[in-house]
């Protein structure tokens, strides 16, 4: 095995972020010249119908010459999202009781329809029985 292959497999510095079904791996690796770069890997667990599971992975390579612009754009985008939507997570995957706005509209229409249909019923007093 060459020195480069050994260096590529060597863990120079790593961090892991577990986030629900996703896990993010941040790994510092070395180029052939011995310079460092960053890989960010997203690994997401999927369950098959038979109960077995598999992982899908996506990886980006980030080199030092891109760090400054990458950090600026990442910061700008995350700030934009927080400023527009706040820090609260609003999604079906994160909140089991989450209702989309179109669900409310559909429910309201059904309630209105049900109310309209009750006008054809006769009012019965149970005291008479």
Tokens standing for 16? Answer: 């892991």
Share of the chain above pLDDT 90, in %: 46
For the segment 3-16, the average pLDDT, to the nearest whole number, is 70
- Please name each of the domains of the chain with its CATH number: 3-115 (3.10.450.700)
Residue 2 has pLDDT above 50, yes or no: yes
| Of 50, 31, 47, residue with least CA distance to 39 | 31
51 vs 28 pLDDT, higher one: 28
For the beta carbon of residue 48, count every other beta carbon within 10 angstroms: 8
Q: d(Cα 75, Cα 80) in Å, to the nearest integer?
A: 8
10 CB burial (10 A radius; 0-12, 13-18, 19+): exposed
Question: In sequence order, what E strands does the chain have?
Answer: 13-19, 22-30, 36-47, 53-63
Residue 105 has pLDDT above 80, yes or no: no
For the segment 27-47, the average pLDDT, to the nearest whole number, is 93
Q: How confident is the model at residue 114 (pLDDT cuts 50, 70, 90)?
A: low
pTM, full prediction: 0.60
Strand partners, 40: 26, 60
């Amino acid at each position: 095995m060459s020195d480069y292959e050994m260096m590529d497999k060597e863990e120079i510095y790593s961090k892991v972020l577990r986030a629900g079904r996703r896990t993010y791996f941040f790994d510092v690796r070395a180029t052939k010249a011995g310079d460092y770069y960053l890989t960010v890997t997203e690994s997401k667990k999927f369950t098959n119908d038979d109960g077995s599971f598999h992982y899908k992975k996506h990886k980006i390579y980030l080199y030092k010459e891109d760090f400054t612009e990458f950090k600026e754009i990442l910061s700008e985008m995350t700030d934009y999202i927080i400023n527009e939507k706040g820090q609260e997570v609003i999604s079906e995957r994160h909140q089991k009781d989450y209702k989309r706005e179109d669900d409310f509209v559909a429910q309201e229409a059904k309630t209105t329809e049900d109310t309209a249909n009750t006008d054809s019923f006769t009012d019965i007093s149970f005291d008479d029985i």
